[in-house]
Structure 1
């Protein structure tokens, strides 16, 4: 899953990476948590008839997806993630998968490795970022929830998939990453049906991310400084990545 993430890129860097007209100024954030506002990217209307240029727009939504049919949000679970394998058919996400796919820019995310049952060590937090730095775009879904009094709340969730071998040493899930060349295809909800973009909802390449052990200060939402992503000595080294055997098996 993905329960905390970082966005420390400047508005100019985000606008350049995601081909936006512009983004309002905002400070770097090192501990973005559920229910907080998150920056998302949606595909707007074309500026000119017949134009192939993207018209992407940035906006803020609450991190915690709320389907439009929910009557009482107090009785509905907080959906910060959606499983890519089931989102197309699941009632909570079906409409958003068809009509409201989004991109969620990030500099990296946090995950925690649980110790073995016979290990007395506490959870080890890791900051997981692209090896070459820069911005990564998570696949996401958006929904606008309307209350009985007519007020509206824009909400969003991050799509996750089964972890690759590198990531599985820490957790069995990871965010779906959309490559820059696939931004338009993912955001195009008019001509690209969910089944036509399902091939994009896969784990990142094995060498895409690096895992940096960090302190448990990230566990507290009140801690928001850049020191959260500073490396520390890990309590127990990660196991080496198991390489796939090239030898065919008869069984």
Structure 2
């Protein structure tokens, strides 16, 4: 889920479900970096650090959020997971995200924000006054 700030700048945020379209649905990964080093304050302990790489959001989603996690295409996974691959920076041409048209999105209920809610209705499209985007990237629901 991604939480969209209201256009007015004040008021509650609107959660959106973003996922791979059914025809593109398959396991996916976020590009990230991991490092392990000696803990600076606890002798003998290690400190693991992880960061998810982000990129500017495709124009189709820019009104929901300005940045998106980098979801690399499956053909690039082996390079990401190979410890012999030198760390970034790589040329941006080597960072190939999943195409925006493989992703679908719609607003959902704010019930997604409570851990005790766990039912299929959480991913149901929100109707009745909610903005439903149009265009090739989004399905009408």
TM range (shorter): 0.7 to 0.9
Q: Do 1:174 and 1:203's aligned partners in 2 also have CA atoms closer than 8 Å?
A: no
Are 2:115 and 1:214 aligned? no
C-alpha distance in 1 between matches for 2:45 and 2:117: 30
Q: CA deviation at 1:226?
A: 4.0
Residue-by-residue CA offset, 1:110-132 (whole Å, 9 max, x unaligned): 111111118x7632101110012
Secondary structure of the 1:177 match is coil
**5+ residue gaps in structure 2?**
137-141
Q: Do 2:107 and 2:130's aligned partners in 1 also have CA atoms closer than 8 Å?
A: no
Are 2:9 and 1:115 aligned? no
Other-structure match for 1:229: 123
C-alpha distance in 1 between matches for 2:49 and 2:62: 28
**5+ residue gaps in structure 1?**
1-109, 243-251
Bigger drift between 139-148 and 208-217 goes to: 139-148
Are 2:42 and 1:144 aligned? no
Are 2:22 and 1:129 aligned? no
Structure with greater strand percent:
1
C-alpha distance in 2 between matches for 1:144 and 1:235: 48
Name the CA shift for 1:123/1:190 in 2 (closer, same or farther; >3 Å).
same
C-alpha distance in 2 between matches for 1:198 and 1:238: 32
Give the alignment's Cα RMSD to 1 decimal: 2.9
Equivalent pairs counted in the alignment come to 131
Are 2:80 and 1:186 aligned? yes
Alignment TM-score, normalising by the size of structure 1: 0.44
